[in-house]
Every structure is written in structure tokens, then in C-alpha cells.
A and B are shown apart, each in its own frame.
Chain A
Amino acid sequence: MASVILPSATSDTSESQPGRFGIYGGRYVPETLMAALVELEHEYAAAKVDAAFQAELALLLKDYAGRPTPLYFAKRLTTQLGGAKIYLKREDLLHTGAHKINNALGQALLAQRMGKKRIIAETGAGQHGVATATVCALLGMECVVYMGEVDMARQELNVLRMRLLGAEVRAVSSGSKTLKDAISEAMRDWVTNVRTTYYLLGSALGAHPYPTMVRDFHRCISREMKEQILQKEGRLPTAVIACVGGGSNAIGAFYEFIPDRQVRLIGVEAGGRGTALGEHAARFRGGAPGVLQGTFSYVLQDDDGQIAATHSVSAGLDYASIGPEHAALHDSGRAEYVSQDDTATLDAVVRLARTEGILPALESAHAVAEALRIAPMMPPHDILVVNLSGRGDKDMGILARELQLPGA
């Protein structure tokens, strides 16, 4: 179906034309936004080669956000599992608690460069919202964050953090009241206030140039990983594992390894609580190519092209589509995509907390769960690098309930 309407793939991942990853990506937006997207594309291209901009971003990433993040050898976990060596890329140690700050800093500096004073964002788990509220406080910008009502209830701590930071959190009550609906509402705001407002999109999603730009701001993850593993082990890892919602932490963790074809790239989607449409967010298992919110990618949808409901215990993976570059990596076979369900994820949270004293975010715990599954089947000289994209403090409410912790 896809090849009927779109250009054919030229290579496995590199942009076949600006904004196209194989056949995926593109710009499917209302005309009102096109001028803003073209302007953003040009401004980003200029910032990318602007040494002063890059130096300012590098300094903030280092002194404010806390880069480089450590690559930690999980010795006890490795010993317990008795297979591959497991390393954790500690994005959870970054300021605000997740990788999202990399992109929020980059785009907020870009917005400042463009003279925009009002920032809008969407958020699912609230980590991107918190990161955006944080950088807006830092740079003195107005910040409005759209968040689905379901997500506001289950990630209440992050709602409070955003408000304390001075952001306005607007509840979204349409549709499934989750990330997808928050993006639609942010786009409605943007289409209305496009002349004054910068849309700080939080994942490698949406219309060009967002998927490329967001990936670039997270490339530092794999760049550091590569240096660190070569320093510690003198060789590349057997596999890199990352959870995939929209796909920002995963594309950041994969990107520098794409040319190293011996390194397996494993994306872990949310298996939710079942295999029926509506019970999970595994786009590569139940989805088909389609257009949602500005980009052509895999989309969970029904036979009529209506977007399906999704479910995951983690708000950040609970989304019906996936970044277009992942769609291209999937089709070319360069990356593998699997899923882990809610139960395995909760088990992984407990396992990592009690073995290593590290509480992962529910999103990141999907990647940990996949490592727990495959490490024992691998020989001891193999190396797994898990991108621990965020910390789990925000999930304590859900964890207390789901795990029936005493006192909850």
C-alpha cells in the first residue's frame, strides 16, 4: 500500500530526501503550519552549523543537565543472570530524571534564537513536560504543556513539578486522553498561534524537521555509549536495547551504531496487557503504515483507518504511532523490534531496584525486561547496553498500587 503512494526506499536509514527515511516521514499537516515548518527547517540547519549555538548547548548539557552520563556495569545483575555482560547507560541520572532534557535544551535554545517567547509542548509520562518547563524557567520563556487527563492522573507528581516550575498544564479530555490527544491539542494551539509560538515536540515524531532534529539532539547518547564501551571493553557491544514509544531515546541510543552492522539494535515496544488491538502499543506487531500527526509511519489503526486505542502501564510508550526513522530501520531489518508486557515490565522494575539499587522509569523498564530475557541465553563475553532512559520516582503511585507495596 505504502509504495503505491509514496517514493520508494533508497537506503535502510539515511534520509532518502530531506525528512524521508526510506518511504517514511514527510509532512502531512494543515497548510497553515507549512511556513512554520519550513522556517524551522532552515533555522535548525543554520543552528546546526553555528559554532556559538553548539557551544552554548554543549555547555548546558554538561554543567546543567549532567552530561556525559555514566555507562555503568551492572555486575550483580550480570552475575545473577549468568550470561551477557549488562551495561546501563544512565540517562536516568540527568537533571529532571530522563533523556528528554537533551532535546528540550536544544529546541529551547533554537526557539530563543528564532525570537519565540512562547513555548508549547505535549507530554505523556510528563518527563518531556518537566524538561520543557525546566528549560523555559531557565531561559525565561512562557510554557504551556498539554497532557491527557488519564496521564495527568497517573503521573500526578510530574504535573505538580511542571506547575511548580511555572508552566501551565492544560488537561486534554478528548479521545483517549493520553499522549496522542495531547499532541493533537498542542498542534491545534500551534496552528492558532503559529506566528508567536514555538512547538517543542518531545519525541522523534511529527512532520519534518522534527524527527531529524529530535534525533540529532539525542545522538549524544550513542556517541557517549560508543566511546565509553570502547574504553571499558575495547570493543563494541553485541546489542543496544532501548524502549520505544515515539522513539526518541531509542534513536538517540541507536544512531551512532547504525553503520556498525555487527551491533544488534533492539527496540522494545509496550506489549501492554494483551495482543488484541487496543490492549498494547506494539506498532510493529499490530500496526500498518499510515499517517498520524504529521508523519507517515506504522500506526495502530482499524480497517477504516481510524486510529486505535492503546494501552501500556507506562504513559510514555502509550502511543499509536512510532517515529518514522524506526519504521525505516524496521523495514530494512537494521533494527529489531520486540515487545514486553506490563507484567514483565513491573518484574523488571523490582529486579533492577533490588539487584542494583536503581529504580527505572516504567518506560525504560521495558528495555530492562528484554535484557533480562535475552542475557541468560547469551555467552558471557557478549555485551548488552541498555539505555536506561529515565528514573522511576515519577511512577511511585503506579508501582505502589501495582506491586501492592505495604503502606500503599
Chain B
Amino acid sequence: MAFVSIRDLRKSYGETETLHGLNLAFDEGEFVVIVGPSGCGKSTLLRMIAGLESVTAGEIAIGGEVVNDYDPADRGCAMVFQNYALYPHMTVAQNIGYPLKLAKVPRAEREQRVRAAAEVLGLTDYLDRRPKQLSGGQRQRVAMGRAIVRQPGLFLFDEPLSNLDAKMRVQMRIEIRRLHRRLKATSVLVTHDQVEAMTMADRLVVMNGGRIEQIGSPSEIYARPASTFVAGFLGAPAMNLIPARSDEGGAIRPDVAPGTALPSSLPLPPGKPFILGVRPEDLSVLPSDRPGLAARIDLIEDLGGMRVAHCQIPEGYASAVLTRDDMVREGMPVSLRPDPERMHAFSAQTGKRFSHERAATGSMKEEAGLFMQSA
């Protein structure tokens, strides 16, 4: 049985519904990351699990028990907040020990547990300091210490890394994962950062506009995004999305350049419009005399490990990851050719992914999605 299960969860503020019937379940010990743009309802969902927001309709169960009406403290979960939310007047030791003090844990045991938590997080030398004497990363560790000292069944992280600088963010990302591996407690982390989401999650929940777009492992979602939204949101640079049609011969003709036929293995019925998705790493940059979509290199971003070419196509832009051998420069006319085996097709109307198998039958149905919620 799932450790946390959410059934048809809805949240309204007055007349406005912000969460539209979410269904979600995850197992004990999983590290779940909820990702989405700001305003998609991911923090609201987390706060509802925590008990900080009321449930308008639906059900939240933790450990098999429906907790809709439970106080936050009685749900067996601990939360790490974006702004750390440390008690400014307490020392690090008092901050970490506060939940135990409230639970009337004897002083000796309390001190021992605080020390143990501080040791795990490398805070032993800072126990007598106050939060304002600590750096951002240290404060975040104290917040985590306050969470782990209670030994909760469920950890909730609300954008815990967004207040840290880039370097610290990478370091804390790794630390949180290590901590999870060590404690094996079920964790739910909310973020708008797709790199954070991809690197930390066992299971990824992509949200948009108060709905779940897709649930799956990061690699599954990267390989088979369920919609144009997911395709565009996960992956940096984002997937190229080009309106196109399939012709009689099975080749794909972009709407912006109907004269160009791109070879494809997508078994799509001819003539029907769809959105072609190509990851930048699956788009080859060839000399302009070779067959492909005519383009001009507008800008080359050198990221050290890789170079990304932003190319101007007849309407809009497409980005491609350059190989070491690509001898290109800005302003150069080129020909872009997607890998025929690595194309994605989405409905032009709904943006949902077409399943290859179903598309092959000619009925062109949208893929239901691997773990898609029922709306």
C-alpha cells in the first residue's frame, strides 16, 4: 500500500479553484519531487499534506490514515521551509531541540538527540550560535536538523534551496540526497528548478495550472514527456517544439518550411497537424547544403562542457547542442536535422503526447500518460 495517497484533492479560495482534483500516491522511502512553474499549486499541495492549508475536497492519507482533519503536528511529518523559518531568539541547539521540548522529551534524551542530529548535519560547532550568526547553508542545515530530530515518517521540503547561492545549492542538493539515503524517510520536495527536480527525484511529479501533468522517474519523463508543457519545462535547453505535418511518404514537413521533408520513424497518419518535439541534443547542425531545416545560427552559448547553438528558423528559434566537431560560428547558415529515431509528437490541439503504438494504427489517440491522473 502507498505510504502517502492523495485522492481527488481539491483546493479553492472562495470561488477560485487552485487544485483541480489531484490523485497521487507514493511509497515509503521514496524521494518525490513536485516541480512546476510558480503558481501551479505545488506549494499549496505540500502545505495541504503538512496540514497548514485546509482541504476543500478529497482526501490525504499518510500511513494508511486519512489526516484531513489532523493538526500539522499530529501528521507525523516535518517541514523545511524556504526561508528556513528558524526561531531567531533561540540558539541552534534550542532550535533543533524545540520540537522535543514541546513533546516533553526529558532533557538528557533531548540533548543527546540534538547532538546526534547536529553530528549528522555537521553543526556540532555551531550549537551555541543564533541563526543570524550563521550562513544560508548553515541555517538550512539547522532547519533540517529541526526536522530530523523528531524522526518523522515524512519529510516535506518547500523550495529549500531557492534562497542559497548557486554553489551552495548544488552542495545542499547532494547533502539532502545523502541524508535521505541515510534516514530512508519518505520525502516530498517542492521546487520550480528543473535541474533540482531531475537530480533529486526518485519520482517526479510535474504540475501545471493546478493539475498533475505527469508522474514518473526523471529519466522516464525526460524520455517520454506526456505533453508539450512537460517537454518544454524539463530539460535545459528546452525541447524544440515545431508545428508540423506528416506526408504520404512518412516524412515530416514543418509548417514553417513545407518544402522540407525530415525523415522520421514516427508512424503518423499523413496530413494531420501535430507538434514535433526534438531535444536539442537530438538535433544535428549540418552544413547548409545538406538536407534539413534551413536555419541561421543566431547565438552560440559556450557552457564549458557543451556548446548550444540558438538557430533562427523561418518562424522562431530552435536550439541544438553542438558536438566538438561542429565547426560553426554565429551568423552561419546551417541545416538542422532531427534524429529520426528520437522524435516526439504531440497533439496540436491539446498538447498531449501521441503514443507511437496507437498512432501507428492510424487512430492518433493521445497517450494516457504513464501514471497519468484521472482528471
Do A and B interact? no
Q: Which residues of B contact A (CB under 8 A)?
A: none
The interface of chain A, by Cβ under 8 A from chain B, is none
